[in-house]
Amino acid sequence: MLQGVVVKESTDIGSWLSDADHVRASIAEAGLVLITAKNTSHLSTFVDFLRMVGAANHPALILDDEADQASLDTSVAARARARAKGKAPAASAVPSAIFSKTNVNERDGEEGFSIRQTLRHHLYLQVTATPYALLLQNTDNPLRPLFTEVLEPGQGYTGGEFFFPKTVIDEGAAPLAYVGADEGDRLAGGETPDGLRNSLYYFLVAAAAQGLADGTSKLGPQSYLCHTSVKKDDHEEAAKRVRELLNQVFESLKGDRTIARLGLQRGLKELARTVSSSLPSLEAIEEYVRQRLRNREVKVVNSEQDEANFGPKLNFIVGGNILGRGLTIDNLLVTYYLRSAKIAQMDTMLQHARMFGYRESAKPFLRVYIPELQALRFHQICRAEHRLRELLGANGSPDRVPVQVARKLRATRTSVLDTSHVEAYMPGEHLYPAAPHYQSKSAAAEHKKALERVEKLFPGGKFGPIKRDSLHPVSLTAIIEALDYIPYDNLGTGQWDPEAIKSVLQSASDLFKNQGYLYARTATRTKLTEGMVGGPELQQLRAAGRPVLCIFKDDSGKLVRIGQTVEVKIDFTYIFPEFVLPEREDLPTHVFNDTSQDAGPVE
């Protein structure tokens, strides 16, 4: 507890208003710390209290934990669709209640009734492990970050690099233990599938081995997590199966021990994959389990039964979404994870990773029982998250920072995004400006200068002649530099966004080992609005395995037509850029918001 500072928590928010006079009198000298959950009832009281104590007259720091969750406006997509159709948004598309009460409130009769509007002199700091939805907001959205700081985990943190690296995924090595893809269906149908059975037996063995090796472990919690579905009925069914098996083990250990011994032997064999020199005896494990099972607890945690307090015992936790954000499970040894979706959301799945945490000393005992496809998805998400942290840590600016999205995944829920400003560069993407740069008086000189710089990238320092099938290896660094000086028509750029392309190349540089290709040839352009490459030539570039920057030189002086009525003649040598991403299974889609920090409000 902070000393000398007035502290109010939302667990007692009903009493805040009655204490407003005292707080108003002491706020300037003592300061004030308010803590509240993000629900509409609490937030309304929160804003009322701020106004009653005169908080608007004082500087404030607002910390928004899990800022990408409830704070975002869930009606953004609906309003964007209405604007695109030239219609007024429906009444149901007004900014969502929590967004309105925390950020900007424009609701009828509530104008200005929000935390940020009330605290006129404030800094707003967002905290989250999954910033995808925040980074994909338009730049005029009050929740789009102006800068980012990456906080690195402390010593002893056990995260995606331990649980889901490529070598572990490929080999099915510990700490993973693969289960059948049909386990969820079998469990929902009333069976106790092998994966669930094996995970429970392994947990009992691992808990015993840990407790026997370190006496303090048996005095605290030892936890098992079962996350199989979003459905509450499935939670109850899973909890029922867990209780049945634990009861069976407990009764067996009080009798001839045959049934329990068979399962515990399988668990001991699994433990031997990571603990070989100091395995306890089967008899010692049986005795430990027999004693600890007397005080075990199977707890269902969901929105109907949301108490999440786990005592110093064997805890078996079953649930769904509520097992995500903000929940810490002490000494979580085993996770049984079946949660699946045809198109999974990256931020949601990453928040499900309760196995992550400061678990260095428990590493030999940790396991995740999971279908192989789900493990692969976690690997892809962790890889994307690692690359995003590198990009954000390099420059701190969230402007056009791409989020890597693997196949059958999406970054976040679409309801909070203005999808008209969310671009996606996919594997095999072919990008080019809407037209060459030709309209300024200096265009000819700009092209001449750029061509001289481009030629230095080729053998012999000359642009051509180059065969049609010639790909010249070059670093991605050189391509990124070239994108800065190659001219293009910036009045109608289409999907050509050099800053976004550079960000994608930086994001994927490890995958391509910082290597790409240049492709160049002469061309005679007859239309402004088409690319220069297509057909078999484009297929060849997509199959190159690395990004390709194409440079086409046109010195023909041919007439260029736009539509049926407008004609222009480019009578100087110009170059025209195009960019092709390779078609590779391991190349994720790169998603970004195309609005700029330097631009005005989004229309």
Beta-strand relationship, 422-425 and 589-593: antiparallel
Query: Cβ neighbours of residue 351 under 8 Å, at least 6 residues apart?
Result: 129, 130, 324, 325
DSSP state of 79: H
Q: Give mean pLDDT, residues 18-24.
A: 93
Query: Cβ neighbours of residue 578 under 8 Å, at least 6 residues apart?
Result: 430, 431, 432, 531, 532, 533, 549, 550, 552
Other beta carbons within 10 angstroms of residue 321's beta carbon come to 15
> Which amino acid is present at 542?
R
- Token pair, residue 222, equals 């030892």
Q: Higher-confidence residue: 129 or 460? A: 129
**Domains of the chain, each with CATH number or no CATH:** 6-135 (no CATH), 157-383 (3.40.50), 428-587 (no CATH)
Question: pLDDT at position 469, please?
Answer: 55
Residue 464's pLDDT band (cuts 50, 70, 90): low
DSSP 76-125: HHHHHHHHHTT-PPPGGGSPPHHHHHHT---STT-TT-SHHHHSSSEEEE
Helix, coil or strand: residue 55: helix
* Per-residue pLDDT reduced to its tens digit, 26-39: 999 999 999 999 99
* Per-residue pLDDT reduced to its tens digit, 71-116: 999 999 988 888 777 776 665 568 999 999 999 999 999 999 999 9
Q: Give mean pLDDT, residues 54-71.
A: 95
> Which amino acid is present at 391?
L
Question: pLDDT at position 599, please?
Answer: 47
* Per-residue pLDDT reduced to its tens digit, 249-302: 999 999 888 999 999 999 999 999 999 888 999 999 999 999 999 999 999 988
* Per-residue pLDDT reduced to its tens digit, 312-350: 999 999 987 777 676 789 999 999 999 888 888 999 999
Question: pLDDT at position 601, please?
Answer: 44
Helix intervals (H) in 427-565: 443-455, 476-485, 498-507, 535-542
Q: pLDDT exceeding 70 applies to what percent of the chain?
A: 91
- Residue 428 backbone phi and psi in degrees, to 5: 85, 5
Prediction pTM value: 0.86
Residue 441 CA, chain-centre distance (Å), reads: 46
- Token pair, residue 77, equals 């997509």
- Token pair, residue 422, equals 């969310």
- Share the mean pLDDT of the chain: 89
CA count, 13 A, side-chain hemisphere, 7: 7
Helix, coil or strand: residue 424: strand
Q: Give the Cα separation of 47 and 101 in Å (integer).
A: 8
How far apart, in Å, do the first and last CA atoms of the chain sit? 47
Does the pLDDT at position 564 exceed 60?
Answer: no
Instruction: Identify the H or E element spanning 592.
Output: strand 589-593
Question: pLDDT at position 340, please?
Answer: 84
Let me know the angle formed at the C-alpha of 404 by 63 and 321, rounded to the nearest 5 degrees. 55
Q: Give mean pLDDT, residues 418-437.
A: 90
Q: pLDDT exceeding 90 applies to what percent of the chain?
A: 67
